[in-house]
Structure formats: structure tokens, C-alpha cells
Amino acid sequence: MLKYVLKRILAVVPLVLLVTALCFALMHVIPGGPEGVLASNPKIKPDDLARIRSNFGLDRPLVVQYGLWLERVVFHGDFGLSYVTGEPVSEMIGKRLPATLELMGSAFLLSLLVALAVGVVSVLKNNTAIDSLFTVGSLAVISIPVFWLALMSMMLFSVRLGVLPSAGMFTVGTPFSIVDHLRHLVLPTLVLSLVLVASWSRYARETLLEAMSADHIDVARAKGLPGTIVVLRHALRNAAGPIVTVVAMSIPILFTGSVVVETVFSWPGMGRLFYEGLLRHDYTRLMGIVFVSSILVALFNLLADCLYGILDPRIRYAR
Amino acid sequence: MKDPSSQTQLLGMRLFAMASLIYLLGLTGCGSEPQSNDSAKTGVAAAVSDGQPRRGGRVVIGLQQEPERLNEILSATATNNLIGNLIFSRFVKYDDQLQLIPDLIETIPTVDNGGISSDHLTYTYTLVAGARWHDGTPLTSADVKFTYDVIMHPEVNAESREGWDAIESVETPDSRTVVFRLKHTFPDFVSETFFDEPVLPRHLLLAELGAPFNISKFHHQPVGSGPFVLDEWVPGSHIVVKRNDDYYGEGPYLDEIVLKFIPDENTLLVQLKTGEIDIYDNADVSFLDQLKVVPGTVVHLTPTMMYEHIDFNLENEILKDKRIRQALVHATDKKTISELVYGGLVEIAHLDEYPTSKYYNEEAASRRVFNPLEARRLLRSAGWVDEDGDGILEKNGRKLSLRISTTAGRINREQTQLVLQRQYRDVGVDLQIRNHNSTVLYGSYEENGILKRGKFDLALYAWLSSPEPATKEDLYSTNTIPPKGQNHPRIRHEELTGLLAEGANEIDDARRVAVYHAITDILVEEAPVIPLFWYTAVDVCSERLKNYRPNPTQSSDTWNAHTWYLTDQSPPPRG
């Protein structure tokens, strides 16, 4: 197992290299650069632009720029300075990462619990009105754009009912209180979760139904165990492996979803940092975020594979 | 999610990118027309102060953009101007009536009051008494000289040195007097110097003069001399500034101002409705109907100096014939575009000069009328006729087909293109739409930008005009064709180039006006550009707040924040 984990961690290295090289190339293929916004200002002379480009080192060949970036990251753990704010990128990410992880974590937990509950109920009430309702509901949620859901929830809970704040992480100007913070967390978490719940619960339903057709389930039933116990104790265990895989594979969706949700709810997380960096062609910032996100995604996938082995003893890791 | 190329984010980008262009002078009659939303109130809400200002209270401003760093020398964005006004001091700013007013200086220097020498080469300023940095240190002429050194330092990424590079020397005979000696005359010196640049504290930044200035921590925790002191900056969330009780000018009255960063405009609208923000600065025009009915708020409509226009690429085989360009000017029905696309909320533009400007050439403007018959006649005289009866003109077997480019995702612009497509078809011209992401369209020459490389036939975008038209040289001179400047239409005209150079250095007012009238005559005749209309800014503020007077110039809507006060200091009810 340990060997397997080490091997997998090593495999992350070429992956991250590939992802960052690809991103770097793609960013530079797009016309415009960190100084591009300045270029549209008639007051700024071409000499000014040339001076700023050369101060940034943007006049060097691309391969050299990438090599320098990689060297700094690998040997010094330094993501460089943002072209736009002049701050160290690692500091910028450090300030924003906790907010993103908090939002993703709460959305992840909520989604998992609700999706499993919905899946179990769907199986227990298979082919009843409730099951159909869940099916239609999930389909509807999957089809609705996230930003629309976000705006509608704001209109309902903040404008119409006036029970929840519409945006931000806490009420500005008041001393920090955990209750106030949690109130701000409710809407973005709900919206980010809804989409995941919709797809995960569909998947949970299918795998559970499949597991229910196994022989040992018939045995459990024959022993006279109630339906709920059969599903929770016997079917869920078998279905857990595939569900974990699907859940882990959705982590990147959480990352992209958080870009949208953070922007609409002005949640000060990494998603917004990325979005704003994209608008300004802030290469160093984008590279830093891509680097951190790709490592996080790879780690979550590794974690899922390990869990799979623990949950399903039939899986053994190759030596 | 909103696509990154979505309209208002980019309008915001364009706005702040171009905002550095505005420096208005001598324009009057552009004040805002506030509209009260309180049905109980009759007439128009008072935009000027009524009664005695009261101290205390907090105002929350919702902003779409967060500043990257609080330093206008490194980036003079609209957001930086807006927040910079609160924290820093400048020499001059424009008020909402577009009059230049002094800030950190006692009077605006003129030849009459002796501030400007008769040869226009020496400018003498006297700083106000009692100005102090927020840490208590007195502000002196040494700080002014230091700021000049920062801007001109080769390793400092100063965004622009316009005006500053005309300075030969800066002298500080005493702690409150600064004397600038110029290498050559620069007519806009007074309105340009320390207009969008703050005076910086020498005692805090001296050690970082040079490359370290670009990445200084100071830009994230600035110490200024303005009416408010930076209290807190939570990245991605908000900035809080508190009252500076040591301020040298009137006020400030408010205890604090909170600037909340909300990237999504729909969210800004919601926050205004719930009372979570008091001011929605630079609101989306398409929200106007909804904004007008938010209880307890006042809508301000302010004409801006930003004009939408179409550039022709004069290197295009078809468009290099000026009769084609003139024909398209006459085929463009701006009134219909204004009504169909903008609900009539924009002011039609015939020239790139603001209608109330002294440089406005009335006679030239009157030649730019919508006249499809004249358009058809010009096209025919250029040899274009409809040979195959499909409604599109041909010449030597080639169809009169052109491509128009703009920023993809800006709905208003895309609608404008559709209207133009129909209008041009009426005179026999086929218009194809070929849009690009804004960073691609506006990209630099090195980055293969569409405008800079001339990879367009017609381009639809906006510029910010300036009342002192010296920057026109960069837009139309033969010497400023990219990469050397911003002459995107690539017009090569010897007489025009000469006049532009003359106008930029002419100090005599009457002669200057005459030169720019002649320039406008040539521009109307040569038609490298079709100006379409002037944008209108929409700002909404709580009616509890008095003295909020939006400003169309780069002095921005917080130009008089030190005089703002609240009539009712309890926060409004939600919902």
C-alpha cells in the first residue's frame, strides 16, 4: 500500500509539469498580456510599454520565461510576484485558499450527506412517486445554470424574505462572530452543493440498485431484516467504492464551480482570484493557482483510490 | 457563470484602462440630473447639501473592481482614482461642473497670479498650510520633489510620464513652495501635474526608490494625507477607511467609508435592494428601470466623456477610397442605434470633441448627417454598382463586403452591429461580423492585438475624449501608426500630422482653437472614424447621503467625499 502511494505521488510530478507547461503555453498564445490593459490608453506611449515589458522580463523567449518560473518554484518554492499587484503570489494564494477550502469543504460534506440520503430513499421507495420526484428534481437542477440558481436564492432569501445576507463572508464593520460568518456561508454552500447532490444522488441510486440485486442481499432479506437495514448495512458497503470514485472525480467540478459561486456571492476565495487574474493576464498568479489546484486535485484522487481499497477488500494494490 | 468576456466586466476594464485619458478643462453644463425614487417626495431630490452637515455614520460603496494596489502612479484605474481620492492628496481636481479646483495647493497657478511665468516654462506652486501625513509627519515640498523622482525613475513601472517628461528641474526653495522648470512648453501642465498622481511620503518610501517601489508593501497599506485613513484591506472582500481628524480641508464628516468589492453586477443590484450597500457606483445601464424603483435611493445620470465609435482601416483595399468611408458615415443612422440599443440614454456624437467644448467645430459637425441617398451617390461615383441584382454592390466582379469587429460578449455592441448590418445593406454594403475577446482586440502590438496589427476592416469600440485635445496627435498622426502610437485607422495625412503637432504645443488659446477646428475639418473630410455617441454613467446612492455629486472626469465620484454627510445615521431597514 505504502509503495503504491509513493508511486502515485511520484506520478503527480510529470502530471503537474505537463499541466503547467500547457497552461503557460496557452496563456501566451492568447494575444494581450499583463501590460495589455495599459496599451489601450492613448496617454501611454509605446516607450512606456516597452520599459514596463522589459522590467517584467516579458521580452524574453517563452521557453526561458517558463524555465525561470519552474526553477523558482522547484528550487525556491517561490511562485514569483504578481505582475498586477506586485505581491508575492504565494502570499496572495495563502490569503485566499482558506476561504475556498472552507466553502468547498462545507459544500462537499453537505452534498455527500444529502446525496447519500436521497440515493437511499430512492432505493427504498424505488419506482414510487418520491423516487420519480427525486429523478425529475435532479434533472432540473443539473439543467439550471449555477449563476441563475445563485441569483434566485439571493432574491428569495435576501431580498424577499430578508433572512440571509446576500454576499460576502461576514458583515463588514462589525466584530467577527461565528454566527454571522455561518449565515454568510449558507447560500453559497447551498448553491454549490445543489448541483453535486443532483448528480451524486443519481449515481448513488444506480449503484445501490445494482448492489441490491446481489445474492447476499437476498440472504439478508430472507433473514427478515428490515429494508432500511439491508440498504444501509449491506448494499451501501458494496456501492461505496464506485460512489467514492465518482465523488473524487468531481473535485475539479468543485474547483470550477467555486469560481462561479465565489464571483456571484463575492466570496473572497481562490476562484475569484483566478477569475480576476484571467481578466488581467496576470501570468504569475494564474500559474501559481493552476499549480496549487492541480496538486490538490491529484491528491484528492489519490485519497479516493486509497479509500476505495479500504472500503472494498476485494481490491488489492499491485506490488 | 458570466463568461470572462461578458459585457460589464469588460466595460469596467475598458473604463479603467481608458479613464487615465480624461482630463477635462473648460467644459460646463454637464452636471448630473438626480432622480429621486421616493414617491412621497415631489420634484427632484437635492443634489447639493441642504442644512448643516452632521458628523458621524458609515457609508458602504459597492464596487465591481478591486484595486490591484493603491497607487495611481503604477496603475491609474478608475477604482484607484476613486479610492485614491479618499486616502491621498493631489494638486488639482475637477469638480462636478468640470472646473479645475485646488486640493493640496493654495491656488491654481496662472500667468495673471504669477504662478506661471510669461514664457510658460516656470510653474510655481504653494502648498496649503497644515497638511500632514496620516502618521503625523508634516507634508512638505520635499515630498513633492520625491514623487517626481519616483515617476521619472527608469526602474519604476510608472504607467505614464505624460507632462512629467517635460520637466527639466524641480526646486524647493522652502517647505511649502515647489518650482517646476520645463524643457519646452506643455500647455496642459497645470491640469496634468498631480491630477491623477498622489503626492507620496518621502520619509516612508525613500529607501524603496527604484525597482523595489514596484513591489512595495506601501501600495497595500498606504499612508496618505487625504480626508480618510486606511484602516483595513481584506483582499477580495473590502477596504475600510476612517475619518482623518487632522485633515487640512473641510470635513470630513463621515466616521468611515467601506468599499465592498462585488464582481457580479446582479449581486450589486441585490445588495442595493437589501440596503447592504448605500452607493452602487457605475451601475449597468440595462438595470436602469429596476434601479429607479429601489426605495430610499436616488439615481444620478451623468454624461461621460467616453464615446463609442467605428474605426475604418485605411489600409483596406476598399476602404482606402475616402468616398466609401464618407458613404458609410452617411449610411449610419445613429438615432436609431441610440433608441434601439440604448433606449435613448446616450447622446449622439458627430465629432470626437464634446459638444460644449470650445474646440467643437459646429460647421463640420453639421456635414455629418444621416443621408442614405448621398451614401448611394458616393458609392456609385466610386464605381460600385449592383451588377447581379442581389442588393449588394460590385466592382470588377468583387462584392462590397466588409468585416466589422468589436469586443465579443458585449451585448450592446453586438446589437449595434446588427443594426449597422441592416443600415449598410440598405445602401448596398454587406457587413460581416467578426468579433474578438477584448484582450485580443485591444492587445498590444507585441501580443498581436487586432487593432494594433490592423487586422480589421471596421472596428467598434470606445475612447475617452479629453477637453484639452493634445492626445489626438496619438490617434491620427502619421507618426503614431502602431506600434508607435494608437493611430488604429492608419490615416497618413501630411497636413493633419503637421496641425496635430502644432496644436499640441500651442499656448495661445485662440490660435489653438483655430488649429483644432482645422483638424476637425480634415477629420470630417477624410472620415477615418465615425463617432457614434457619448455614454451616460448611472450611479445610485441612498437618499440619506448628502453632497454625493458624481463626477464625469477622472477626479471620479469621490472627489468631494470629505463633504459627504448622512441625514439619518441609523442603517436603513432591509428588504
Give CA separation, B69 vs A87, B76, B80, B344, in Å: 9, 10, 8, 37
Q: Which of these, A299, A291, A294, lies nearest to A9 by C-alpha position?
A: A299
Nearest CA in chain B to A47: B484
Using DSSP, state whether B308 is helix, strand or coil: strand
User: CA of A125 to nearest chain B CA: how many angstroms apart?
Assistant: 35
Q: Do A31 and B474 lie within an 8 Å CB cutoff?
A: no
The predicted pLDDT at position B514 comes to 94
What grid cell was written down for B147?
A: 514623487
pLDDT exceeds 90 at position A255: no
Alpha-carbon distance B554 to B537, whole Å? 13
Instruction: Locate all alpha helices (DSSP H) within B250-371, ordered by sequence.
Output: 265-274, 288-291, 322-331, 334-342, 362-366
Residues of chain A neighbouring B448 (CB-CB closer than 8 A): 31
pLDDT exceeds 90 at position A285: no
pLDDT tens string, chain B, 575 residues long: the values are 333 333 333 333 333 333 333 322 223 333 344 444 443 333 333 334 456 888 888 999 999 888 888 888 887 777 888 999 999 999 999 888 878 899 999 999 988 898 899 888 999 999 999 999 999 999 999 999 999 999 998 888 777 777 888 899 999 999 999 999 999 888 888 888 888 889 999 999 999 888 888 888 899 899 999 999 999 998 888 999 999 999 998 989 999 999 999 888 888 888 898 888 999 988 877 788 888 888 888 999 888 888 899 999 999 999 999 999 999 999 999 999 999 988 888 889 999 888 878 888 999 998 888 999 999 999 999 999 998 889 999 999 899 999 999 988 778 899 999 999 999 999 999 999 999 877 778 777 776 788 888 999 999 998 877 767 877 888 899 988 887 778 999 999 999 999 999 988 888 888 999 999 999 999 999 999 999 999 888 899 998 898 999 888 778 899 999 999 988 766 554 43
Domains defined for chain A, CATH in brackets: 100-311 (1.10.3720.10)
The predicted pLDDT at position B9 comes to 35
The predicted pLDDT at position B30 comes to 35
Give CA separation, B128 vs A126, B177, B384, in Å: 81, 10, 66
* Cα distance from N-terminal residue to C-terminal residue, chain A: 8
The predicted pLDDT at position A29 comes to 74
Q: Where are the beta strands (DSSP E) in B119-158?
A: 122-126
The predicted pLDDT at position B22 comes to 31
What grid cell was written down for B181?
A: 522648470
pLDDT exceeds 80 at position A33: no
In chain A, residues 269-288 whose CB comes closer than 8 Å to chain B: 269, 272-273, 275-276, 278-281
Predicted ipTM beyond 0.90: no
Residues of chain B neighbouring A263 (CB-CB closer than 8 A): 1-2, 263-264
The predicted pLDDT at position B14 comes to 34
Contacts of residue B336, Cβ cutoff 8 Å, sequence gap at least 6: B419, B423
pLDDT exceeds 80 at position A212: no
Residues of chain B neighbouring A38 (CB-CB closer than 8 A): 17, 75, 159
Q: Which helix (H) or strand (E) holds B231?
A: strand B228-234
The predicted pLDDT at position A32 comes to 63
Alpha-carbon distance B539 to A74, whole Å? 48
Residue A68 CA from chain centroid, whole number: 29
Sole residue written with cell 492608419: B490
The predicted pLDDT at position B571 comes to 58
**Residue type, position A87, single letter:** E
Instruction: Check: pTM over 0.95? Answer yes or no.
Output: no
The predicted pLDDT at position A37 comes to 57
In chain A, residues 196-255 whose CB comes closer than 8 Å to chain B: none
User: Of the given ranges (A3-12, A49-58, A126-135), which has the lowest mean pLDDT?
Assistant: A49-58
Alpha-carbon distance B75 to B86, whole Å? 16
**Residue type, position B258, single letter:** V
Under DSSP, the state recorded for B139 is P
Position A85 confidence tier, pLDDT thresholds 50, 70, 90: confident
Position A46 confidence tier, pLDDT thresholds 50, 70, 90: low
Residues of chain A neighbouring B445 (CB-CB closer than 8 A): 39, 46
Alpha-carbon distance B175 to B126, whole Å? 9
Residue B325 CA from chain centroid, whole number: 27
The predicted pLDDT at position A39 comes to 54
Position A92 confidence tier, pLDDT thresholds 50, 70, 90: confident
Residues of chain B neighbouring A44 (CB-CB closer than 8 A): 20, 159-160
Contacts of residue B529, Cβ cutoff 8 Å, sequence gap at least 6: B309, B310, B311, B312, B352, B489, B523
Position A206 confidence tier, pLDDT thresholds 50, 70, 90: confident
Q: Do B66 and A38 lie within an 8 Å CB cutoff?
A: no
Alpha-carbon distance B336 to B110, whole Å? 45
The predicted pLDDT at position A131 comes to 85
* More confident site: A31 or B337: B337
